[in-house]
Structure formats: structure tokens, C-alpha cells
């Protein structure tokens, strides 16, 4: 192995080590234990205390990719004080739980398991009263996993609508505004169901800005969105003619007040609800930054709130890499640029490509740095899943395009067709972690020497 190859391999391993350090900081079990303490039968959640002697029952409800791990920590803390519970998680995102049932369901497109799980969850929620303490565990993915279509809307309607929204370039805020208005459990309706029972909501954020009403579509939060805004989103992305007619009719009826709105600020059902965010993307970035410094890199966190079209974000990141190499600004090499958030991919062509926003970011970046040496880029989802694939993301460096061309691959064509997965699969640069049981959006790591 040449010195240059040895350096490149070390940088690639450094990128993986930095990612894993960031991932460790948002381990749901650690995060739940950090904010919840039980002493003398008093449960303290940050600075709020609950005397468990006042309650006859404790039930645990939840949905999201981190649901099982969060539930595991709650069982470790409360043990046999838990009366019953149910969490809905993505397939294979499981733990060995004793008192809380797990339902595995489809994500990002909802399925029948998600509907059945949501029905069971809502049935358990209806049993709550003022002598019941409800602990709600919310994490990314909850919108798809906890699916309970509004009256008159079928699961097939929601599945088709979800697929269209995921491919049109809409942001997660816009997608979840629509999801809330097609649901019998989101947009504060779960809080309404358990009222007047006190509810503790532990939230692992996968949303830019940590907006509680957007994470898992806010089942226990007042909703800022309206039916009218749903119609505006549909017009903005030109998807009106592609959506099921029953969905459009539902929104039109809602905008005319013929269907009740989601619950809004000031509704009494939220008086007994306490929310706390136990971790978010910035926690992962700060831990990753610490690791990068230990490895000898000058570090810079750009932001934990980066949104926008994936290829545009790749343009900005690779431009920063060029600046570092050319002028030593904003950092001198060896440099580590970190960023987080959630970009969007607008599906082009016939929509038959396979990949995700992280793989697309890595491919777009690889094309832009093909003439630059000693740059390694790793982009991956903290949940271990990038789009509908088994990869968390991908790794790219200045040899990526060279190796692809040697195999007669045309990188620009793969990018144009949103087909990054088979591209990176052919050159063995997919980044696979398996299910991580957490989710705080994406981490992008760019190393420059």
C-alpha cells in the first residue's frame, strides 16, 4: 500500500469513527436515563417531579424508530410499576421488553401493521384517567408508524399520498402538516384521548428546529397547521392531479370547517402534558466534533439545521472543501467540517432510481471533488436507513469517480436518475450500520488534508 493510499484509508476510518461517536451521543437509553430519575417513588423528569404514590396505573405509549430503546430505558427505571404499554417501531428496530408490547410496522410508507398498532395504542390510551400517569415516547418515524387514517380515508389513500409527498421535494414540515390532517391520532389527538391523565412526553428529535408539533406529527402537541395550508402545499408542488380524490375532498371540506381541525394552542387537553426533548442532531454533532479533535483535525460545525435540495447542499459543502485547500479558510488542514439536518431529493425521470438523500449527497459531492486529493466525505442517516435502502449512506473521496469510470459507470447519469445506491454498491462504498434504534436526522462529515 502506498503512503497516499494509507492516508486515504486512515481518513476513511476516521470518518467512520467520528460518525460512530456522534451516534453514541444520541443512544436513546442513555438519553432517557440522563433526564429521568426515580428516588423514593418520585419520578423526576428534568426539573419536573411526579409522586408515583398518587397514581394507580402507569401506561407507556410510543411510536418511532427509537421507541423500543426508549421503552427499554423506561422499563429499567420504573420496572414493575408499569401497568401496560405499547410502542410502534420500524421492522427490526426492537429490544427485549418485559412489560411494554412492541408492534413492528412499515416506514416510510405506512402499512397494515401500523394501522393495527395505532388502533391498539389508542384503545390503551382511552383507558387512562386522572389516576393514570401516561408516558409517551416519541421519535422520528412516528408519523408513518403510528398510522390511523381519518374517517373516509383508506390506508391505500395514505400510502399513495405519502409516496407522492416523499418524491416531490416537500420538507418534513410540509409533509407532516398533511399527515396530521389525515389522521385520527396526530395533531394533538392522542393528548385529547388520554385527557385528563397527566402525560410525560419524552422526545428524540429528527426535525430541523426540534419543532414538537412536527416530530412524529405531534400526537400530543397543539398543531400550528391548517387544512388550508395543506391545500397550499399541494398547489406549491403541483401534485393536485396525482393525489387520491378522497384526500383532496377531505382537505377541501376541512378548509370549509365541515371537518374538525386539529387541536390548537390553548386547548385544555394540553394543560397536563409535559414535553422534554432528550436529544437532537446538535448533540450528535458536538460529540462527533470532540472525536474529530482527538484525531487531530481542526473542526467546524456548519449547522444542525441544514435543509434544501441535496445536490445544492453538496455544492456548498464541496465549495468549502475547495476553499480550505486553496486558502486555509475557514480552517487550515487537516480539517473536519460537520453538518446535520435533513435535505430533500426531488425525484426526477421515471422515479425508478434507488437511493436516499445521503447517498445522493455523496454522489453529487464525489463528482465535484474528482480533481481534488485528500478529501473524504461520509454522509449517513443516524437511524441506519437512507431512503428505502439497507444502507445508512455512502462514503466518497477523490478516487470514487475514477473507480466508477473504470467499471464503465456514468456517475452523472446515476445522479440524474436518483440511482445512487447501485452506483455505490458497484464500487463497494455503501455505508451500512444496520438498525441503530435512534434517529436525529443525518450527519455529514467532510475531512480535508
Q: Strand (E) positions, 253-356?
A: 273-279, 298-301, 335-341
C-alpha span between 209 and 201 (Å, rounded)? 18
> Pairing mode, if any, of strands 132-139 and 199-204?
parallel
- Beta bridge pairs of residue 151: none
Instruction: Tell whether the torsion through CA atoms of 374, 302, 207 and 278 is positive or negative.
Output: positive
Neighbours of 56 (CB within 10 A): 10
In a structure prediction context, what are the per-residue pLDDT tens digits for the chain, which is 449 residues long?
Answer: 455 688 999 999 999 999 999 999 999 999 999 999 999 999 999 999 999 999 999 999 999 999 999 999 999 999 999 999 999 999 999 999 999 999 999 999 999 999 999 999 999 999 999 999 999 999 999 999 999 999 999 999 999 999 999 989 899 999 999 999 999 999 999 999 999 999 999 999 999 999 999 999 999 999 999 999 999 999 999 999 999 999 999 999 999 999 999 999 999 999 999 999 999 999 999 999 999 999 999 999 999 999 999 999 999 999 999 999 999 999 999 999 999 999 999 888 677 899 999 999 999 999 999 999 999 999 999 999 999 999 999 999 999 999 999 999 999 999 999 999 999 999 999 999 999 999 999 999 999 99
Q: Strand (E) positions, 280-323?
A: 298-301
pTM value is 0.92
Region class of 257: left (phi > 0), else alpha (psi between -120 and 50), else beta:
left
Nearest C-alpha neighbor of 244 from the set 183, 148, 155, 116: 155
C-alpha span between 238 and 226 (Å, rounded)? 19
C-alpha span between 134 and 85 (Å, rounded)? 9
Give the domains, in start order, of the chain with CATH numbers: 3-23+282-448 (3.40.1480.10), 29-148+183-225+262-279 (3.40.50.10180)
Q: Please tell me the predicted confidence (pLDDT) of residue 349.
A: 66
Q: Please tell me the predicted confidence (pLDDT) of residue 1.
A: 45
Q: Please tell me the predicted confidence (pLDDT) of residue 22.
A: 98
- Beta bridge pairs of residue 299: 336
Give Rg (Cα) of the chain.
23
Angle ∠(397,400,401) on CA atoms, nearest 5: 125
Instruction: Tell whether the torsion through CA atoms of 409, 413, 414 and 417 is positive or negative.
Output: negative
Amino acid at each position: 500500500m502506498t503512503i497516499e493510499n494509507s492516508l486515504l484509508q486512515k481518513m476513511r476510518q476516521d470518518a467512520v469513527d467520528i460518525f460512530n461517536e456522534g451516534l453514541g451521543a444520541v443512544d436513546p437509553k442513555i438519553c432517557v436515563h440522563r433526564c429521568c430519575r426515580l428516588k423514593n417513588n418520585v419520578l423526576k423528569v428534568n426539573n419536573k417531579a411526579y409522586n408515583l404514590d398518587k397514581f394507580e396505573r402507569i401506561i407507556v405509549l410510543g411510536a418511532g424508530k427509537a421507541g423500543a430503546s426508549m421503552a427499554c430505558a423506561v422499563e429499567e427505571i420504573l420496572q414493575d410499576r408499569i401497568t401496560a404499554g405499547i410502542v410502534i417501531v420500524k421492522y427490526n428496530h426492537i429490544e427485549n421488553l418485559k412489560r411494554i408490547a412492541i408492534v413492528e410496522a412499515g416506514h416510510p410508507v405506512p402499512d397494515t401493521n401500523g394501522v393495527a398498532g395505532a388502533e391498539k395504542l389508542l384503545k390503551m390510551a382511552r383507558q387512562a384517567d386522572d389516576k393514570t400517569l401516561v408516558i409517551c415516547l416519541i421519535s422520528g418515524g412516528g408519523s408513518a408508524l403510528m398510522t390511523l387514517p381519518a374517517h373516509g380515508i383508506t390506508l391505500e389513500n395514505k400510502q399513495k399520498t405519502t409516496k407522492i409527498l416523499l418524491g416531490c421535494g416537500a420538507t418534513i414540515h410540509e409533509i407532516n402538516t398533511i399527515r396530521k390532517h389525515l389522521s385520527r391520532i396526530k395533531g394533538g389527538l392522542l393528548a385529547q384521548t388520554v385527557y385528563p391523565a397527566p402525560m410525560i412526553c419524552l422526545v428524540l428529535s429528527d426535525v430541523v428546529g426540534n419543532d414538537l408539533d412536527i416530530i412524529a406529527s405531534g400526537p400530543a402537541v397543539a398543531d400550528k397547521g391548517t387544512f388550508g395550508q395543506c391545500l397550499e402545499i399541494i398547489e406549491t408542488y403541483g401534485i393536485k392531479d396525482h393525489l387520491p380524490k378522497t384526500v383532496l375532498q377531505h382537505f377541501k371540506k376541512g378548509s370549509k370547517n365541515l371537518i374538525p381541525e386539529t387541536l390548537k394552542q390553548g386547548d385544555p387537553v394540553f394543560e397536563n402534558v409535559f414535553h422534554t426533548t432528550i436529544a437532537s442532531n446538535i448533540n450528535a454533532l458536538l460529540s462527533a466534533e470532540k472525536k474529530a479533535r482527538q484525531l487531530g483535525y481542526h473542526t467546524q460545525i456548519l449547522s444542525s439545521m441544514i435543509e434544501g435540495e441535496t445536490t445544492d447542499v453538496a455544492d456548498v459543502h464541496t465549495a468549502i472543501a475547495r476553499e480550505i485547500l486553496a486558502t486555509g479558510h475557514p480552517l487550515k488542514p487537516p480539517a473536519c467540517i460537520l453538518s446535520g439536518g435533513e435535505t430533500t431529493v426531488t425525484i426526477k425521470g421515471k422515479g425508478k432510481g434507488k437511493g436516499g438523500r445521503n447517498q445522493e449527497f455523496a454522489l453529487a459531492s464525489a463528482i465535484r471533488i474528482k480533481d481534488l486529493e485528500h478529501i473524504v466525505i461520509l454522509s449517513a442517516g443516524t437511524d441506519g436507513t437512507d431512503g428505502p435502502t439497507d444502507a445508512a449512506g455512502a462514503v466518497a473521496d477523490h478516487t470514487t469517480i475514477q473507480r466508477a469510470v473504470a467499471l464503465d459507470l456514468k456517475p452523472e447519469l446515476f445522479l440524474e436518475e436518483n440511482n445512487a445506491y447501485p452506483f455505490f454498491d458497484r464500487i463497494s462504498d455503501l455505508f451500512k450500520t444496520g438498525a441503530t434504534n435512534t434517529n436525529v436526522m443525518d450527519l455529514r462529515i467532510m475531512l480535508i488534508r
